[in-house]
Amino acid sequence: GTSGTQWSLDGTNASGHTGASSPGAYQAPNLVDIMSTEGVQEVAAIKGAIPAEYENAIGGQVNVISKSGANQWHGSLFENHRNKVLNARFQRLDSKPPLVFNQFGGSLGGPIKKDKIFIFGDYEGYREVEGAFVQGNVPTQALRTQLLNAVPNYKLALDAFPLPNQPTSDAMVGLYASAKGAIRRDNHFDWRGDILLTSTSRLAVTYNRGRPVRTVPRYYIDDDRAWYNTLDRITGSYTVGRTGWVSETKFGLNRTIADRTDGFFSKLDPDNPKESFTGGRRRPRLSTTLGFSGPDGEINHYGGPLWQISQKVARPAGRHFLKFGGDFHRLTGTRNNPEVPSFFYSGLDALLSNTPSTVSATLGNGDFTMRTFEFGFFIQDDWRATSKLTLNLGIRYDFYSNFVSKGKRGTPDAGLYNPEFLSQDGKFTVGSFRPITSPFEHDPINFGPRFGFAYNPDGQGKTAFRGGFGVMFTSNTADIGWFATAIGRNIPSRQEFDPALISRFGIRYPMFNDNFFDFVLQQSRESQRTNVFQIFDPKLQVPYTMQYSLDIQRQLTPTLMLSTGVTGTRGVKLILFRAANRVDRLTGLRPNPNVSQPIYTDNSQTLTYYAWQSSLSKRFSSKLSFDVNYTWSKGIANAAGDFGAWFVGENSNSLNQEFFDLRADRGPTSFDITHFFSAGWVYELPGLQRVTNSVRHLLSGWQASGIFRANTGLPATAVQSSSRPGDRTDYVGGAVVLPNYRKTLQYLNKGAFQLIPRAATSGAPIRPGNAGRGSFREPGLWNLDLSVSKYVPIHEGVRMQIRADMFNALNHTNLSGLRTNLNDSFFGQLLNTRGARIIQAGASLSF
């Protein structure tokens, strides 16, 4: 999955979210990933059996190398602009929504002291205001009236739902769709300084600063989601060379902080707005099996600094090129994520009688700092065994620490409370709490051998066989520990109230987090009770993969290269998240009444991935260059196939249907694409010779470029609403995908699936569904982007480029937004698209 790729800048961590591995921030509030393209000198991507010098990468390594100054001053200015006049109408709207997008910036680099001190800096900003398409299921006026007559207090949630504005045959639930205002802005700076200390030593320092802000509208009334992020990153490197060896020392500090707020979270209890803690009296949401739920409301503060230091030494020795070294990483971060309470009702009768099946109270994590660290050592040898064969041999050792959270200020008892064990006999008994300084054990023994080769049989460099095998480890993402941190002992960040607890405490809508906090405190005083939101296997280890690859490259002509090969991954001990101690489907009782429904976290996930990849590339000659790529691949896992936190990206909503039946969850990974094809090209348009100079200057020198992409769809699963997470439907036979869906927008055959009856006592289906995970695919897509550009000489050493970019140039409708919940009135329909044509005009000046 995406968590397996490591992103670095000048050799140090450059993740946009220090709690995981990603080029951008969590949930992508930013447009500038890592650094502005104005400051990028080179991007180096490594896949397959990665050399031993790279740590933490079990799927790939991408290193961005920043530009530096030189003895001549050089720089650039640029501006890109979009507006609704140039764009096509979004397919789901009757008119073009507002849009103003401006992206602007520049760069400047040169000598502070010639041949000695150099500086380079860039700035990139953007301002975007647009009408973004939003849609969602909402109760009809008839249902609202019925609900409010039965329970007037439902008004606290129902006031946030607009009325349906799309045709519907359902008397209870309709669809609302519209365009609402979205905002993005950022001021991003990159700076690099280089000092040549001596003729053989160099000191370089890079600094990145970003302040992205984003507001995303939602279909609820007054419930926009807003992000306020900060990024500060410093990288320092000292390189010294002597006769026969080179030493490189690096230091990195990557600090990302994010604050996210929902509009509905600001809505207080109108009768008693005074709360004992943040989030204590916020209006609760409704969650139903009728096809509508909401509104969502939470705040989320998360992030922290990650710093690292590394040392590498390289030494040539005859046919060998040896490299060895080590690195140390330490991350300290935090998260506090209170949400409005969520009341789940199984059916209309339960709503009318105000009898919830489950209530979820997310109290937050308190004020704390969590630390984790790791260190490793490696040695590798690039050995030119013969004139035709080069081998890369290496081994890497890594130590990974556990997570330890320490409370601060208002919540000094905050920490990661983890029991000694969770029994695997179906009774889900738990042990006493482990010491808060050791919630689970360190993982101290991780050895990863690496082997690679390059063989040139003809000795002329026209044919090459390349391949390798490697075992690679990576740390567990800090996100997992941040969210699991509790306010105090037996006071979890989230508590699930089942039918037994609902009856015991007399829970009815509306109740608030202040009430639920009191209930949790009351439970915490019961000696036999263990309240935890997440339980870690005390012997939790870090995930690793075994990577192998073999490919053949052949130079067909001096400018044309063909490559084809196979690659594979075997993922072992990946993190798996399972909801433990779920209520019995028939009785509504938990196997262990003294434990809630914790997410059990262990190393039970496995992954198999294999692919055949081919490419044909042509270097620029005769006014043309191109790259054509095709990949056939297959990924299979017993969960999403990623090891990030259970609520992030590919892992979202991927909890297993049954705790013990992992085999039934084996299926395609969340990112599995069977066929992928892409082609990119640059063509210099022919010049005009038999015309006047002015006409020739106007019409000559144009370049046309394009990128075409086509791929099959991602896996999808038919589910149904339940008080238990992960419940699927039955597949009862027949064609799953309808042939005329592009006309009707009805993609799935509803008759091929069947709801499993729910037990009134539990709010859950009476048995598991037989529909497989990922048993059908979303529609595939294809897209063509085109650009035309021209360089215009202004003065010696100064030139301007003007360009026009057309994204989705043919305005092809790629349908999306597939509804996969069988309780949804719009099940199987494709209610969104991947966007209409966008035209961007731009100009840049370089000198």
In the chain, DSSP finds a helix count (H) and a strand count (E) of 8, 43
Angle at 591 between CA 490 and CA 535, to 5 degrees: 40
Cα atoms in the 13 Å half-sphere on the side-chain side of 171? 4
The helix or strand, by DSSP H or E, that contains position 390, with its residue range, turns out to be strand 389-400
Strand, coil or helix: 598: coil
Among candidates 73, 11, 18, 81, which has minimal Cα distance to 46? Answer: 11
Q: Which residues of 71-102 are buried (b: 16+ CB within 10 A; e: fewer)?
A: eeeebbbbebebbbebbeebebeeebbebebe
Is the domain covering 2-846 a CATH 3.40.50.1010 domain? no
Does residue 647 register a pLDDT over 90?
no
Report d(CA 714, CA 698) in Å as an integer.
46
Backbone angles phi and psi of 349, in degrees to 5: -60, -40
Tell me: the pLDDT tens digits for 119-132?
999 999 999 999 99
Confidence of residue 649 (pLDDT cuts 50, 70, 90): low
Does residue 689 register a pLDDT over 70?
no
Confidence of residue 459 (pLDDT cuts 50, 70, 90): confident
Confidence of residue 654 (pLDDT cuts 50, 70, 90): low
Sign of CA dihedral 768, 770, 773, 776: negative
Confidence of residue 628 (pLDDT cuts 50, 70, 90): very high
Q: What is the pLDDT of residue 388?
A: 96
Among candidates 105, 101, 104, which has minimal Cα distance to 129? Answer: 101
* Dihedral angle computed from the Cα positions of residues 9, 12, 17 and 23, in that order, rounded to the nearest 10 degrees: 30
**What residues form DSSP beta bridges with 136?**
176
Does residue 650 register a pLDDT over 80?
no
Does residue 268 register a pLDDT over 70?
yes
Residue 687 CB: number of other CB atoms within 10 A?
12
Calculate mean pLDDT across residues 650-664: 84
Report d(CA 620, CA 558) in Å as an integer.
11
Does residue 698 register a pLDDT over 70?
yes
Does residue 261 register a pLDDT over 80?
yes
Tokens of 847: 């000198």
Among candidates 682, 683, 625, 789, which has minimal Cα distance to 78? Answer: 789
Report d(CA 367, CA 405) in Å as an integer.
10
* Dihedral angle computed from the Cα positions of residues 411, 412, 414 and 417, in that order, rounded to the nearest 10 degrees: -150
Q: What is the pLDDT of residue 456?
A: 95
Calculate mean pLDDT across residues 261-282: 96
The amino acid occupying position 580 is A
Higher pLDDT, 779 or 700: 779
Strand, coil or helix: 480: helix
Across the chain, mean pLDDT equals: 95
- CB–CB of 755/728 below 8 Å? no
Calculate mean pLDDT across residues 211-233: 98
Does residue 549 register a pLDDT over 70?
yes
Does residue 509 register a pLDDT over 80?
yes
Report d(CA 834, CA 838) in Å as an integer.
12
Higher pLDDT, 640 or 203: 203
Does residue 313 register a pLDDT over 70?
yes
Tell me: the pLDDT tens digits for 815-834?
999 999 999 999 999 999 99
Confidence of residue 527 (pLDDT cuts 50, 70, 90): confident
How much of the chain, in percent, has pLDDT values that exceed 90? 90
Q: Which residues of 494-506 are buried (b: 16+ CB within 10 A; e: fewer)?
A: bbbbbbebbeebe
Tokens of 521: 């405190």
CA-CA distances (angstroms) from residue 302 to 130, 339, 408? Answer: 27, 14, 15
Ranges of each domain in the chain: 2-846
Does residue 506 register a pLDDT over 90?
yes
